[in-house]
Amino acid sequence: MQRRADRLALRNLMLFSVALVCFTLAVYHPWALAGPQDNSLVVGTSQEPRVIGGDFLSVISNQAIKAEIELYLFPNVININLDSKNYAVLATEAPTLENKRVRFTDLGQGKRRLEVDITLRNDLKWSDGKPLTTDDVQFYYDVGKAKGMPLLNPDYWSRVTLKVKDKANYTVIYEPAFYTDLQGGTRPSVALGYAPAHIMKDAWEKTKTAVATLDPTKDAEKLNELYRNFFQQFSTPEAVNKGAMVYAGPFAVRRWVPGNSIELTRNKYFSLTPSGGAEKYVQKVVYRFIQNTNSLLVSILGGQIDVTSSVALTFDQARSPQLTSRAPGRFDIWFVPSATWEHIDVNKFSAVQKVKELQLDNPKTRQALLFAMNREGLTKAFFDGLQPVSHIWIAPVNPLFNPDVKKYPYNIEQAKKLLAELGWKPGPDGILQRTVEGKTVKFEIEFVTTAGNAVRERAQQFLADNLKQVGVLVKINNAPSSVVFADDYIQRAVESKWTGMFMFAWVSSLSELGNLFACKDLNTGATFMPTKENNYQGQNVGGWCNNKYDEIRAQAVTEFDDKKRKALFDQMQQTWSEDLPALPLYFRSNPFVVAKGLVNYVTAAYAGGNGYPSWESWNIGWEQKGAKKIYDQAKYALSLKK
């Protein structure tokens, strides 16, 4: 009896649990799902912004997701389209030499001064109906110029000045100016930026009074705290939910539930109307935060998400059979080549013993290494060819890209021949060796990359195997990114901290100045090669010094004529590819899952400045609801079908 009673109790307990789960499911299931039914859009992302809106100088946070969402709220004054070209959004026209809105003067010693005239449209309004004028640009400028402001781009702010003419017209002056100052995109850009003076000015005046007696050299920490407090008043979830901030874009924040979502609703005061009327386009955008990308994938499969953001699935997840098998008829999966350039830098500091022994400072050695690497095979085997092989550090969508550089296709014989010319002969174990100062040296090269990054570690194994075929032995020496990217590692090739190859990525900027491989700036005298003399600063971490490159670069960065500049960059890329200071691998692709029927949710590496699909958010809509398709993602992306 006792036994039976226990068993019954156990069974009842189990039944009760199941019933409880079913009841919860039935009662609280959020039936209002995403999609065209209610003309809304649910965007899945793995990152949640820490702040949004009020932190307009990105002093608190410069996360990608923040910038992506803010494009719905604060459109660029001058935007960048899918072909990386400027066009006007909040201004009447984009500044060019032809329309006389761009003027430059020569200051001598290669320095130039640039003046850009901007006219704001006369129908701009904030989401509270108040007009958006040059007062808002002036406010943005004043805050950016405040003493001791911990800016992300102090270089930009040290060169820029603003002159306001009237409520619509202003001039932005850059001195010394670079050609890249003419680029549009996210704030601050060619047209500077804007922030709602009528909302934030009172708080700013109080902050100004509080910092008045502080000295940036002594009280930097205190200043930092006071400035952050100012931005927080308009950017935290509580502030945003209280309605402390206003917006100027096609959308405004309605609600932010931390850990769950941010909901944006259409702003009726936004003056750019998409074709056929704004009501035919998406009325509500919900950014749904699912930090774990596997769970995010599950949400997509379960139909709870319409599209993915630029910070969402990994490359491998987007190709997973679970997703691709459910895609037909439901969504497209696009792989948009980004500007993130995977490459291998090589230590070229001749003073390093290992560099001398392996002749890594000799271009022929580097060429031989690249000839030995089967990069086409690598991208085919690991990425289905969806991450294109690169031959140069500039992204193909950058107008400066030169497709005719010297290329090094996979060719073992050529690699062997070059190595033989350098005196290397196969030893008894098949590994190349040569005699240096009476001592036998084996071609054993150190290969560093970020431990824990499975894609890189896989690629590293593949390339190590390639090199072995020509008799080069690879010694893998990986460490976590916090170790290898720390200043006392990556910046110290000159001190033999890493002695051979280092695989990592740079984001190749549209505002390309060629700094990555410059040795010395012949205009300013600054050096880019980290050595003790410059306190280990600069991004030319492998230590490549090429006078010809530096000379052309010095001209190119201050050349304002598009054609001449392009010609100079062509020469720079030519010189680079011949000398091969680094071994180019491939450009990473960003995967995007987009529900069928959704139009104009497209992107390219530099669209809007950063390649976020929200660069022209007012045109995003469902075909079922009458939205017109303007852009074709197929032109700018690869997909598994091809």
By CB under 8 A, what part of segment 272-311 binds another protein?
288-292, 294-296, 298-299, 301-302, 304
Is 212 a binding residue for another protein by CB under 8 A? The answer is: no
Alpha-helical runs (H) found in 475-629: 481-484, 487-490, 547-556, 562-579
CA 196 to CA 248: how far, in whole Å? 9
Q: How far is the CB of 241 from another protein (least distance, A)?
A: 7
Note whether 325 binds another protein by CB under 8 A: no
Angstrom distances, CA of residue 93 to CA of 169, 364, 413? 12, 50, 56
Kindly write out the interface string for residues 130-149 of this chain, putting x where it contacts another protein by CB under 8 A and - elsewhere.
Answer: ------------------x-
Distance of CA 359 to the CA centre of its chain: 35
- Name the residue nearer to another protein (CB basis): 105 or 294: 294
Single residue of 145, 201, 228, 284 touching another protein by CB under 8 A: 228
The correct pick among 81, 119, 171, 224 for binding another protein (CB under 8 A) is 224
Site for another protein contains 12 (CB under 8 A):
no
- Residue 477 contacts another protein per CB under 8 A: no
Q: Is 399 near another protein (CB under 8 A)?
A: no
Shortest approach of another protein to residue 631 CB, angstroms? 28
* Minimum distance from residue 521 beta carbon to another protein (Å): 11
Taking the complex as a whole, the smallest distance from the CB of residue 516 to another protein amounts, in Å, to 7
Q: Give, as ranges, the residues between 47 and 106 that touch another protein (CB under 8 A).
A: 50-51, 55, 60-62
CA atoms of 375 and 462, how far apart (whole Å) = 9
| Comparison of 440 and 482: residue with beta carbon closer to another protein | 482
Q: Does 454 bind another protein (CB under 8 A)?
A: no
Q: Rule CB under 8 A: which of 152-181 touch another protein?
A: 152-156
- Using rule CB under 8 A, residue 533 touches another protein: no
User: 25 vs 454, which CB is nearer to another protein?
Assistant: 25
Can residue 642 be called a binding residue for another protein (CB under 8 A)? no
Nearer Cβ to another protein (64/164): 64
Instruction: Tell me if 393 contacts another protein by CB under 8 A.
Output: no
Residue closer to another protein (CB basis): 293 or 347: 293
Greatest distance between any 2 Cα atoms in the chain? 103
The DSSP code sequence of 81-105 is -TTS-EEESSBSS---TTTT-EEEE
The letter for the amino acid at 333 is: I
CA atoms within a 13 Å half-sphere pointing along the CA-CB vector of 402: 20
- Among 328, 485, 533, 561, which residue interacts with another protein (rule: CB under 8 A)? 485
Q: How far is the CB of 243 from another protein (least distance, A)?
A: 12
Describe the crossing of helices 220-232 and 197-211 by its angle, rounded to 10 degrees: 160
C-alpha dist (Å) from residue 638 to 190, 265, 303, 310, 604: 31, 31, 23, 15, 11
C-beta closer to another protein: residue 269 or 393: 393
Within 10 Å of residue 122's Cβ, how many Cβ atoms? 11
CB 535 → another protein: shortest distance, Å?
5
Which residues share a beta bridge with 599? 621
Order across the sheet with 169-174: list the strands: 102-108, 111-119, 169-174, 160-164
Question: Rounded distance, CA 250 to CA 73, Å?
Answer: 7
| CA distances in angstroms from 351 to 359, 419, 535, listed in the order given | 11, 21, 18
